[in-house]
Structure 1
Amino acid sequence: MVLFQVCVSILGIGWYISLWVISLIGCLAARKRYRLRPRSPTASLPKGSVEGVSILRPLKGLDVNLYENLESTFIQEYANFEIIFSVADPGDQAIGIVQSLMQRYPGVKSRLIVGERVVGVNPKVNNLVRSYEEATFDILWVIDSNIIMDRGALARAVDALTSTPAPRRIGLVHHVPYAVASEQSLGARIEAAFLNTNHAKMYIAINTFATESCVVGKSNLFRRSDVDIVDGSLKPLSSTRPTNTPCGFPQFSRFLAEDNMIASALWHELDLRHSLSCDVAKNIIGSLSVKDYILRRARWIRVRKHMVLAATVAEPFTESLALALILTLSAGYMFGIPPWACIMGHYIPWLWVDFDVLTSLAGQQLPRPELVPFLTAWALREMLAFPVYCYAIVGNNVQWRGATYKVLRDGEVQEIDQVDSSRPQYQPLRREI
């Protein structure tokens, strides 16, 4: 029995140290990557000297800060780009915002596509298919409507995509989300505390190791010619595949997390790698209740458990409460350290690391009046982590964009609500091998 307790304690301490190593790597990488964002030389080059980029922005309704979010793409410091906005509903309120911006910036090549084409259950993909097909350029930059980007982001992203020092070509450039709670609701503050600390820390660390694809699709830049030859099977592209295999962007409409699956397909099917930009995707969050936050977190846990089961099962053991308990039990048994010392020794540096990551992403210290609200939201996020996980892990149904879906194997989804069969359908591209 004693031997068993010793072995378990050693494993616990080993796990604890491993998570601290990952956290420190995320913290140090965030410092290096985000505290200094130099202007790209590409930003000053003339139109004929840079590759063209088609910026695709899918819209639905009046998102918080929508005018400023969309305007950030009109003022990019890059000489050769177009913007394509897409809305599914001709009566969508976002159309007026788009038209106002197009009038304000007549020198920027931009257009609006109204009307979706149904290719599957994912409404975002249905909204984007026409923009994807009609884009002028091969390089596509897909940005969610609630994201505002720095004016130098496009040039830096193109630099990362086209300048590849690694042995394998970069197939996708992505941006870590940085949340800004535009309203003082508790749910929004908890969401921002999560995205700007724990999520960012782990996301940056995983992409620093770069042993597997890990991408959030708030802002992704890739080549259409690459996506056109993948199908989401995550099997290496080879002559052994059947001929006339449906491929390309529409094939990812069967997934709810189409952004992550596109990135994984580029990684596994084409053996391409990803580059995490030094810019952040500033995610403007409107009013959220605590219930809204819980449902949002539960949705992505339920999707993720069907895509990366092992990582999802291990997730609760990476949270600070679980790690504090592991440290208390393991170090207490092995070295006789009192519980209060373990808890203090864990949480003070853990909070400091999270706060440092937030500072790196923000590019400045948190204003003093924001300190107490942040600490409150951070503590609530930590306490909610395990209950939210337990609620999410036992279910398979999620709600997104007004519809209910059942998450299936490998992250595919089935819409539970009745689908309007009168909407225009799509005939998939097929790859000839």
Structure 2
Amino acid sequence: MSMIELVLLILCLAAVIFYGYGIYAAIAFIRHPQSINSQFHPAISILKPVCGLDRDTQTNLASFCQQDYPEYQIVFAVRDRHDPVIAVVEKLILQFPQVDVQLVVSDRIIGANLKVSNLANAVVAAKHEVLLMADSDIRVGKDYLQRVIQPLQDDNVGVVTCLYRSLAAGWVTTLEAVGTATDFPTGVLVSNQNSGIKFAFGSTIVIRQQVLKAIGGFGAIADYLADDFQLGYLPAQAGYKVILSDYIVDHVLETSTLFDAIQRQIRWARCIRVSRPWDYLGLLLTHGTCNSLLLLVATGGSTLGWLVLIITWVMRLLMGWVVSVKILHDPVAKKFWWVIPVRDLISFVIWCLGWMGSTIQWRGQQLRLGRGGKMTTVV
């Protein structure tokens, strides 16, 4: 066996082990559901940064106005007073008079990440100690607040975050949703099972104001692309726990072209690379689909090559099914799980492209990523 064949074999075995452990971590996660204390319901300020119209914006934002929860407010923040999303928010204010909904329009900028500037403008109007942030393309059920707030009963918990399942329209977003549901959550569940997570996601971030102040407020993350990651990482560094809620939110994917989808994923890949280079390199151990194909080619279609490929692909498909269907209850992945190998090959190409370049396009801005994921505007 040549050195190349040996390296590929080791990579395939590592992937199989990862897939197996991913299944174990997923099963362990659902076996320990979080208990619900109906008497625990601290007042919450929901901060919603909005910019433009997403797919189903009205429905997505309205879902936060329909919570079975005694006391909460929603602060929508937008930069441009001519933004069409303002009309949607004003309609929600009229539609839900019983909910404390406010709209903040401010073009104040505190850093390269305009979303964080929106959050900084919104928090000024927050009335409560507990803050909750969620992206504008997130949709939730009526029990959302009561469920995600539960971990804060422990004073050592600084942040609560959620996994998400994608709602797709069109074959491009369907392909993207399959990859998201069958790949990304596994790494999160494995980290959660090992030593707990030390990051958060824009799908949901619950944080106390005192914790936010302890890490330097929104100003501390105003120049980072992965602001959600930092809102989990910095509190973890400060000694607080970050808890993964068992509540799964819906992520409504915008219909997009193949080029836009690939560019978006390359942007995420480059962000991970500059933020956590060793973790990004370690992702090579999870690309079993591609590595087993390369081994098959390298060994000239040998029996060993075919055996490793079959084992690797079976474990990959099984892991994808368990995570996406049993944990996320993802309707897209359940229907199209058989395209996982195709999606994995695309992911491998994107992973390779993630090593190249440091500039990204984001909401009309051209930005350069620096050490740790910090951004500077390209003039």
Of residues 370, 374, 379 in structure 2, which corresponds to 1:412?
A: 374
- Cα deviation for residue 259 of structure 1 reads 1.3
Name the CA distance, whole Å, in 2 between partners of 1:272 and 1:110.
30
Name the counterpart of 1:84.
75
- Cα deviation for residue 317 of structure 1 reads 2.9
Name the counterpart of 1:257.
226
Secondary structure of the residue aligned to 1:120 is: coil
- Cα deviation for residue 155 of structure 1 reads 1.1
Secondary structure of the residue aligned to 2:142 is: coil
Letter in 2 for 1:279: Y
Name the counterpart of 1:382.
344
Name the counterpart of 1:312.
280
Of residues 343, 355, 359 in structure 2, which corresponds to 1:393?
A: 355
Of residues 326, 329, 351 in structure 1, which corresponds to 2:317?
A: 351
* Higher mean displacement: 337-346 or 188-197: 337-346
Secondary structure of the residue aligned to 1:254 is: coil
Secondary structure of the residue aligned to 1:317 is: helix
- Cα deviation for residue 326 of structure 1 reads 7.9
- Cα deviation for residue 32 of structure 1 reads 3.4
* Higher mean displacement: 398-407 or 206-215: 206-215
Q: Deviations over 1:360-417 (max 9, x none)?
A: 24437779xx73x5533x3331121222122221110011111010000111110114
Aligned in 2, Cα 1:151/1:254: closer, same or farther, shift over 3 Å?
same
Q: Deviations over 1:328-357 (max 9, x none)?
A: 699x8xxx8532232222212321220221
Name the counterpart of 1:170.
157
Gaps of 5+ in 1: 231-246, 418-433
Identical columns (%): 21
The TM-score with structure 1 as length reference comes to: 0.80
Aligned in 2, Cα 1:327/1:401: closer, same or farther, shift over 3 Å?
same
After superposition, where does 1:240-251 map in structure 2 within 5 Å?
Answer: 247-251=216-220
Name the CA distance, whole Å, in 1 between partners of 2:125 and 2:72.
14
Q: Is the 8 A contact 2:20 2:319 kept in 1?
A: no
Letter in 2 for 1:52: A
Aligned residues: 378
Name the CA distance, whole Å, in 2 between partners of 1:303 and 1:8.
27
Q: Is the 8 A contact 2:266 2:353 kept in 1?
A: yes
Larger Cα Rg: Structure 1 or Structure 2? 1
Aligned in 2, Cα 1:10/1:394: closer, same or farther, shift over 3 Å?
closer
Aligned in 2, Cα 1:91/1:366: closer, same or farther, shift over 3 Å?
closer
Aligned in 2, Cα 1:8/1:89: closer, same or farther, shift over 3 Å?
closer
* 1:110 maps to 2:139: no
* 1:222 maps to 2:191: no
Q: Is the 8 A contact 1:55 1:142 kept in 2?
A: yes
Of residues 285, 302, 305 in structure 2, which corresponds to 1:339?
A: 305
Aligned in 2, Cα 1:197/1:68: closer, same or farther, shift over 3 Å?
same
Gaps of 5+ in 2: none
